[in-house]
Each structure stands twice: as structure tokens, then as C-alpha cells.
């Protein structure tokens, strides 16, 4: 892996590992009667926030795993639906370690679970996703057989008609070795709910960011890779990953802004070589183009045609293409025609941005 000082610039101080979660954040811990007394091999980590509708399915998918040597840690991150959440998990309560804490964000919730994890390996699952029965067995064998420190897999996408029968790696392929540069350049994109890792490499990398940010998982994968961890992936579909409409169409501008913010945080907090800085600069330009496209769509839908034409022109400047050129021209000379086309094709026109964040 490239050395962090190849640019010739003075090395930044390594970012300080986040402090362990303040015990005052934790309000309640309950260990189910069926949880193993002896430390298991794997600790499954599930943060929960507004997850009452889906969490029982997620838990059942873990309980039904063929690989049995695991514990399940659910962290209720001060969720406003706590009453409904606890009603949803009451049948599984004896199978899990249940922690309630004041709301502090997904990063802190996962860190809380990591602190309490007794397994040497941690496996991440979001509360609205579900594993297939072979997930833990297949991923654990793959990790050990190849001497990896972290592995992830492919996932079936479900929850929207437009993603039916598609897979995560069809929208976000993993190509070549999953090293730091590949993750940074989005040639390899780990999906959080498909990831297991040795607990020590997660701790050594400083665990998840504790500020209220998005894409804290992308940031952690980069830190793990920067430390020289060996990362691999299976193209097996071992996970069902839920795609929710509110995360794709209704908040598309915010989604691109969060991706831009993630890359800016990487630039500010991780020592990068000159080549890696060039990757970040190129990717940021591409995302600025994506942002301009989404803004153009928003202007178009609200009837602000002049602003839409300007936004599409900016996007075409960042990422020139025949399609964007045609859209830019139509936005200027025939905006009503473009609007009609977009409304008629919007459901299939939703582009999957590089999935460096949870698609929700």
C-alpha cells in the first residue's frame, strides 16, 4: 500500500481515536437469558433508530443463521419509536444484549456495541436489512481461509420495484484488490450490512467517527485500509439490502451533499499521497456535477426553468456528455418537453449514486 509520506509533505498527526462512549450516555443494558455465558466468536452489531417496522426481520435473520457461535448486540440510540421498537423485539429479547442510550448518532451507537462486544470478530447489520442463512458461516470461513482482516459481500436489493432482481454490486461494482486507493476511488465499495471484521483492526483504526456525520462507515473502511489491513470481498449474495424511496428520490440533493462532505472529511483527516489527493479532487468534481444535476431536476420540477438550465449547464461543464448536453439544450429551448419526459420516466431515471453511504 502507498506510504502516507510519498507526497513529500510533512505528515499530519494521526487523528486521535474517538473516546470510548461516556458511560453517562448508556441508560440501560439487558442481557437475555439465552445469551452465551462464554465469549462467542462473533459479535453482531445492530444500531436501532426509528427501526421498529423492520428490526424483527433483521433479528430473525441473525437468529436463523447456520453459524451459531455469535451474540447479538442491539443499541437503541435514543430512538423516538422506543415503545414500538421494544414491542417489536419482545419475542427476541432473551436472545440479545439490548442497550439503550441517549441519542448520539449511528457512529456512537456502533462504538457502544463494539465496546461491549466479546467476540474477536464484529459483524455489522443495519436494522432494516436482513442476512441470508449462510451469511455468517460463509463470511467467517472466507475471512479465515484467506487471512483477511475484513470482508464484505454482495447483496440482493429489495424494497422498491425499480431495484427488483438487482444486486448491490451491479450498482456499485467491486473491481480488483480492495486496498485504500480502490476504496477511495470507489472501485471497491463495502456495504456495511455485508461486512465482518476483526474487532482489533476496528479498534486500532479508531472505530467510527463520533460527530453527527453521515458515511462514517466509509471513513472507517479507509482508516482500516490505511493501517494496512487486508480486505476482501465475496461476490456471493448473502444479504438482503433494503432500498427505501425516501432515501433515493425525496432527498437526492442532500445525499450528494453528504457524499461531498464525506470526501472533504477524508481530505482533512487522513494523510494522503499526491496521487490519493488527485483521486479526491477528481471525485469531488464528479460529485459537484451530480449535485448540479439534482439541483437542475429540482428546479425543473418547480417550474424554475432558467435556473434548471443553468444548473444543467454547470453539470455539463464538470462532466461533459452527449446526454447532459441534450438535457442542457432542452432545458433552455423546450423546458416543458423536458419536464414532461422527466415526470413520465422519473421512477426509472433515479440514478444510484456510488453507495458509500447507507441508502436510506
At CB < 8 A and 24+ separation, what contacts does 182-186 make?
183/218, 183/221, 183/222, 183/225, 183/231, 184/222, 184/266, 184/276, 184/279, 184/280, 184/283, 185/279, 185/283, 186/283, 186/354, 186/356
Name which CATH class applies to 23-248.
alpha beta
Closest CA to 17 of 204, 197, 180: 204
Closest CA to 135 of 191, 52, 215, 54: 191
Distance CA(28)–CA(10), nearest Å, equals: 45
Distance CA(183)–CA(358), nearest Å, equals: 15
Distance CA(35)–CA(194), nearest Å, equals: 23
Cell of 57: 426481520
Q: How high is the pLDDT of residue 163?
A: 58
Q: How high is the pLDDT of residue 40?
A: 97
Domain map of the chain by residue range?
23-248, 273-349
Per residue of the chain (360 residues), give pLDDT as tens: 333 333 333 333 333 334 444 455 788 999 999 999 999 999 999 999 999 999 999 999 999 999 999 999 999 999 999 999 999 999 999 999 999 999 999 999 999 999 999 999 999 999 999 999 999 999 999 999 999 999 999 999 988 765 567 899 998 989 999 999 999 999 999 999 999 999 999 999 999 998 878 889 999 999 999 999 999 999 999 999 998 765 433 467 888 888 999 999 999 999 999 999 999 999 999 999 888 888 888 888 888 999 888 988 888 887 788 888 888 888 889 888 888 877 776 544 434 344 454 433
Q: How high is the pLDDT of residue 6?
A: 37
Q: How high is the pLDDT of residue 356?
A: 53
Q: How high is the pLDDT of residue 345?
A: 67
Amino acid at each position: 500500500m502507498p506510504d502516507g509520506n510519498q507526497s513529500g509533505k510533512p505528515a499530519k498527526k494521526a487523528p486521535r481515536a474517538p473516546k470510548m462512549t461516556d458511560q453517562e450516555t448508556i441508560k440501560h443494558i439487558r442481557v437475555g437469558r439465552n445469551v452465551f455465558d462464554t465469549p462467542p466468536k462473533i459479535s453482531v452489531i445492530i444500531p436501532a433508530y426509528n427501526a421498529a417496522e423492520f428490526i424483527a426481520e433483521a433479528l430473525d435473520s441473525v437468529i436463523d443463521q447456520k453459524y451459531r457461535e455469535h451474540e447479538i448486540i442491539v443499541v437503541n440510540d435514543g430512538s423516538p419509536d422506543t415503545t414500538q421498537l421494544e414491542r417489536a423485539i419482545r419475542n427476541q429479547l432473551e436472545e440479545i444484549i439490548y442497550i439503550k442510550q441517549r441519542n448520539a448518532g449511528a457512529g456512537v451507537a456502533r462504538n457502544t456495541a463494539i465496546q461491549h462486544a466479546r467476540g474477536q470478530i464484529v459483524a455489522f447489520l443495519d436494522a432494516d436489512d436482513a442476512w441470508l442463512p449462510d451469511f455468517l458461516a460463509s463470511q467467517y470461513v472466507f475471512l479465515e481461509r484467506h487471512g483477511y482482516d475484513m470482508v464484505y459481500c454482495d447483496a440482493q436489493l429489495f424494497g422498491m420495484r425499480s431495484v427488483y432482481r438487482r444486486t448491490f454490486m451491479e450498482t456499485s461494482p467491486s473491481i480488483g484488490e480492495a486496498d485504500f486507493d480502490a476504496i477511495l476511488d470507489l472501485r471497491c465499495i463495502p456495504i456495511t450490512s455485508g461486512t465482518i471484521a476483526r474487532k482489533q483492526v476496528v479498534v486500532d483504526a479508531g472505530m467510527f467517527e463520533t460527530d453527527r456525520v453521515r458515511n462514517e462507515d466509509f471513513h472507517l473502511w479507509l482508516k482500516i485500509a490505511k493501517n494496512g489491513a487486508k480486505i476482501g470481498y465475496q461476490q456471493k449474495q448473502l444479504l438482503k439490502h433494503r432500498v427505501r424511496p425516501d432515501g433515493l428520490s425525496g432527498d437526492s440533493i442532500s445525499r450528494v451533499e453528504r457524499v461531498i462532505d464525506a470526501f472533504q472529511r477524508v481530505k482533512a483527516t487522513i494523510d494522503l499521497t499526491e496521487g490519493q489527493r488527485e483521486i479526491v479532487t477528481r471525485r469531488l468534481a464528479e460529485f459537484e456535477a451530480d449535485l448540479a444535476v439534482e439541483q437542475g431536476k429540482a428546479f425543473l420540477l418547480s417550474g424554475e426553468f432558467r435556473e434548471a438550465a443553468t444548473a444543467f449547464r454547470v453539470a455539463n461543464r464538470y462532466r461533459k456528455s452527449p446526454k447532459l448536453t441534450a438535457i442542457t439544450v432542452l432545458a433552455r429551448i423546450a423546458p416543458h418537453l423536458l419536464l414532461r419526459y422527466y415526470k413520465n420516466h422519473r421512477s426509472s431515471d433515479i440514478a444510484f449514486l456510488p453507495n458509500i453511504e447507507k441508502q436510506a
